[in-house]
Structure 1
Amino acid sequence: MTILRTLRTLRGRLVAVAAVATMLLTATPPAQAYTTYTPSGGPAVNLVGTGISLTDIPIGQTISCGSFTMAGGVSSPGLSRGYPTPAVNLPTLASAGCSNTWWGAVTFALAPTWRLAMTGDPSGGVWPARLTEVKISGVVYGCAIEVTGVVNGTFSVGLQRFTPVAGPSGLQVSAAVGGAPCVTIDVAVGDPIAVGGYWTNTALPPIALANP
């Protein structure tokens, strides 16, 4: 009798645990995964850089810029689009006061149009984002260098800030022409580039983002 009673008690407890687990699973809705998003606000956008720098990772050399701005506008505000279709077009690009400790002053040519796109769903108001169609050219110590690709990062709606990821950004050296000078500074095609600092949108109304 005692054994049977114990077995019944254990079975009852197992059934109760299973019922609670089932209730919790059915009461918790699955996380929504979207494939589209809608930008609004603006339409003017003015992204002002703070502490912007480019680092050739293999050689550990950094070019820092005193100013770096990107301006343009929200593309088709209020229109839903799939990831990673751009939210912002940035045709007006400017940098100044760029230099390296060893190489001296560097003047960049920034080829338009760069674009800012969201690449996935947000978390706490912060969206995974990407600058695309990036092209930066300059002459460094007699070596003509071109850097192209994307800059992966995040966009905070609350701060109106695009922050590049740490480490390889998605940019790389796509050309290094100049013979001996390029050998001297050791820059090579394929070198990954890290982007430091962040850009803040100072235009009003601010950029707004929503799903779907």
Structure 2
Amino acid sequence: MKSVINRGITGTGAAALTILTILAMSWPAQAAADTYTPHGRPNVIFVGDDIDFTDDETGQTFTCEQFDLSGSLQNPDLSRPFGTTATTWDQLVYRGCFNPIFGDTTFDQIGAWGFAITGPEAGSISPAAINDVAIFVEMPGCSLNIAGAVGGDFDDATGVFTPTGSTLTIVDDPAGLLCPLVGFAQGDGISVSGSWLVTGLTISNP
């Protein structure tokens, strides 16, 4: 691009005008290709029903009847690059988290999590991710530290976020006598399924 601009400057006035016109026309397309804008209320809530966390190595699943996230919309109506946080989650409310072997299970949020759009919208669907996820999971005889991100699709028309992938892992050695008996180990991948209904957030491109 620098060499093209230099040739335009050293060429005729008409050539320079043509190049400037092309640049002016191409900038909005570039902005639309790599930015998005969140809109909504200061308080944003993700309502999660029947959210499942499954250890990929052992097949053990923890199902939560309720797994709600709430937090604040960051700089509403301001365009930002894909992957830049739109909402910060600092509250987790859950109930009915259960595993068939261990029974009732607790999930404690560690730090603040983020939510970001990660790519351009197609129709009403945008790729998105819950980032900086960190959870302390505790059950009788075993506890786990899990961290990573949950990727998925955000439907701007229905307000539903559906997980499609996860980088969550058990990040250190599980604690408790029952953990090794089941097979939980550091590095195990954790899949996430279910869906969240998002209130207080819509997005546009750019």
TM-score tier, shorter chain, comes to 0.7 to 0.9
**Alpha-carbon shift at residue 97 of structure 1 (Å):** 1.3
Unaligned runs of 5+ in 1: 1-29
Q: TM-score by structure 1 length?
A: 0.79
Q: Give, as a single letter, the amino acid of the residue that structure 1 aligns with 2:121.
A: P
1:184 alignment partner in structure 2: 181
**Alpha-carbon shift at residue 127 of structure 1 (Å):** 0.5
Q: Give, as a single letter, the amino acid of the residue that structure 1 aligns with 2:51.
A: I
**Alpha-carbon shift at residue 77 of structure 1 (Å):** 0.3
CA contact under 8 A between 2:174 and 2:184: conserved in structure 1?
no
% identical equivalent positions: 36
1:123 alignment partner in structure 2: 122
Q: TM-score by structure 2 length?
A: 0.81
3-state secondary structure, aligned to 2:172: strand
| Superimposed CA distance per residue, residues 18-60 of structure 1 (whole angstroms, 9 cap, x where no aligned partner) | xxxxxxxxxxxx9996111111112221111011010001111
Q: Which runs of 4+ in 1 moved over 6 A?
A: 30-33
CA contact under 8 A between 1:93 and 1:112: conserved in structure 2?
no
Q: CA RMSD for the aligned pairs? A: 1.9
| Superimposed CA distance per residue, residues 89-125 of structure 1 (whole angstroms, 9 cap, x where no aligned partner) | 1111122211111111111111231111000001111
CA contact under 8 A between 1:176 and 1:182: conserved in structure 2?
no
Structure whose alpha-carbon radius of gyration is higher: 1
Quote the Cα distance in structure 1 between the aligned partners of 2:139 and 2:69: 23
Unaligned runs of 5+ in 2: 1-28
In structure 2, do the counterparts of structure 1 residues 50 and 179 end up closer, same or farther at CA, with 3 Å as the change threshold?
closer
CA contact under 8 A between 2:107 and 2:136: conserved in structure 1?
yes
Q: Give, as a single letter, the amino acid of the residue that structure 2 aligns with 1:52.
A: I
2:145 alignment partner in structure 1: 146
| Count of matched residue positions in the alignment of Structure 1 and Structure 2 | 178
3-state secondary structure, aligned to 1:34: helix
3-state secondary structure, aligned to 1:122: coil
**Alpha-carbon shift at residue 179 of structure 1 (Å):** 5.5
2:201 alignment partner in structure 1: 207
